[in-house]
Structure 1
Amino acid sequence: MSEGVDEAGWDVEPGDEIEPVVQAVARLLRVCREAAGLTVAELAEALGYGEDMIRKIERGARIPRPEFLDRADTLLRARGHLRAFMEDMRRARYPKKVRDLADLEERAVEMLLYGSHNIHGLLQTPEYARALFGMRQPALSEDVMERETAARMARKAVFDRDPAPTLSFVQEQVTLERPYGGKMVLRRQLEHLLEVAQLRNVTLQIMPTRQEENAGASGLVEVLKFADGTAIGRSDGAFNGRPVSNPKDLRILELRYGMIRAQALTPRASQKFIEQALGRL
């Protein structure tokens, strides 16, 4: 796969709710191309993409990147009609499950996040995330791996929000020690954790393996709180792992998270712990 083809976009997931929008973009691109008097081959050459890729986009089988629409709009003199879909395509290129999660994270004013197996997705570097996707079985294609990694990185926009949400992370010690992707990937990941820990709206704590009591022994705990007073949460060890939003169930998750945070190292001690882990690499 050439670099240009790879940058054109990702395949549409059958049945995705965004499919009708992708189809509308496909029809518009074809109309604009024909109005400009260009063949598919001529458009492909002018934009630097493969002819087959342009055909897939015009069939609605491929989600074009926003950058593609921007260039095509200029070349075809579409007067901004193609550019009008750039934000839709920016969201459409990510899997539906990721879009739903990103929507929740974008609305949240406070997040309580405990990870026991891997570094939490919002804290991951691109290299670390790609290493995780690379270990999936059955193996993911390069196209899917790129799409999943890009989607995970897009979620990190929560750190740039203004006003910023309050973020509390607790990570098990073992997640800082697994060298997924190799030692250099782990080193950069730990360095990134130290960078994030400096943010005023972020609290990062480590649960040491030596801790004899751990309220997080049942696994992941996440609670997202919203400005209207509502919240949603989930835990591997409660409610069969299903998301919950009623106050009674949320109190249970908040109690569990509160105990986890109390049992973990303090934020300052946690930063020192990460620095020491870096020194051992």
Structure 2
Amino acid sequence: MPGLFQTKAHANALYAMRKPLLDDELIEQRVSARMARQVVLTGRPVPMVSCVIEEAILRRPIGEWNIHKEQLSALARLGRLRNVELQVMPLDCPEHAGMGGAFTLLTPKGKPQVGYVEVQNVSRLITDLEEVRILAARYGCIRSQALTPRESLALIERLLNSQ
């Protein structure tokens, strides 16, 4: 689940289950920082945000069921925003272009597009034009393999109503 889309309870549950364990103060700092970054979704100028989420993430309850239901509800609200295109990669698409792991593409106004990857507490900003071009091409393939935004929102709402 992208950090920009996580509820406070979901983020807290994720950090609390990390191994080795994080102390409570560090968890609170990280959750607060994640929540503070979410203002970018509604700030001015409103950014265009496009995201593909694996269906498995929608089906795996992180924390308790009430935390999961709150997270699905938040995703449904985000999926209705005009500046957010939320897509789901269905479980029945076993081989897709995103199997190499998650990444983020950022296109700052008036600057070149960059990539960002983060895994196992290691992060890397990608500025090499060829590497960024490959990520952008891969993202295009991922989006074409995922459900449409409308189909994705319908799936999220079905999951939310089945709880």
TM-score range relative to shorter protein: over 0.9
Aligned equivalent of 1:231, options 113, 135, 138: 113
What is the Cα deviation at residue 157 of structure 1? 0.9
**CA distance in 1: counterparts of 2:149 and 2:32, whole angstroms:** 29
Q: Within 5 A, what are the aligned runs for 1:1-281? A: 119-235=1-117, 242-281=124-163
Using the TM superposition, give the Cα deviation of residue 276 of structure 1 relative to its aligned residue in structure 2, in angstroms. Answer: 1.1
TM-score, normalised via structure 2 length:
0.93
CA distance, structure 1, for counterparts of residue 28 and residue 73 of structure 2: 23
Q: 1:242 offset after TM fit, Å?
A: 3.5
Displacement after TM superposition at 1:235 (Å): 4.4
Higher relative contact order (CA 8 A, sep 6+): 2
**CA RMSD of superposed structures (Å):** 1.7
State the distance in 1 between where 2:134 and 2:24 align: 40
Deviation at 1:143, TM superposition (A): 1.2
> CA, structure 1 residues 212+143, in 2 after alignment: closer, same or farther (shift >3 Å)?
closer
**Which of the pair has more CA radius of gyration?**
1
The Cα of 1:236 is off from its aligned counterpart by: 6.9
Q: Is the 8 A contact 1:220 1:235 kept in 2?
A: yes
- CA shift, 1:123, in A, is 0.1
Question: Secondary structure at the residue paired with 2:81?
Answer: coil
Shift of 1:243: 2.3
SS at match of 1:226: coil
Structure 2: gaps (5+ residues): none
Deviation (angstroms), 1:160: 2.2
SS of 2:111's equivalent?
coil
Question: Match of 1:257, as an amino acid?
Answer: Y
The alignment's TM-score, normalised by the length of structure 1, stands at 0.55
Map Cα deviations across residues 29-83 of structure 1 (whole Å, 9 max, x no partner): xxxxxxxxxxxxxxxxxxxxxxxxxxxxxxxxxxxxxxxxxxxxxxxxxxxxxxx
- Between the aligned residues of both structures, percent identity stands at 39
CA distance in 2, matches of 1:160, 1:234: 22
Q: Equivalents in 2 of 1:180, 1:170: separation in Å?
A: 19
2-structure distance, mates of 1:242, 1:156: 21
- Cα separation, 2, equivalents of 1:207 and 1:236: 20
Shift of the 254–202 alpha-carbon distance from structure 1 to 2, 3 Å rule, reads same
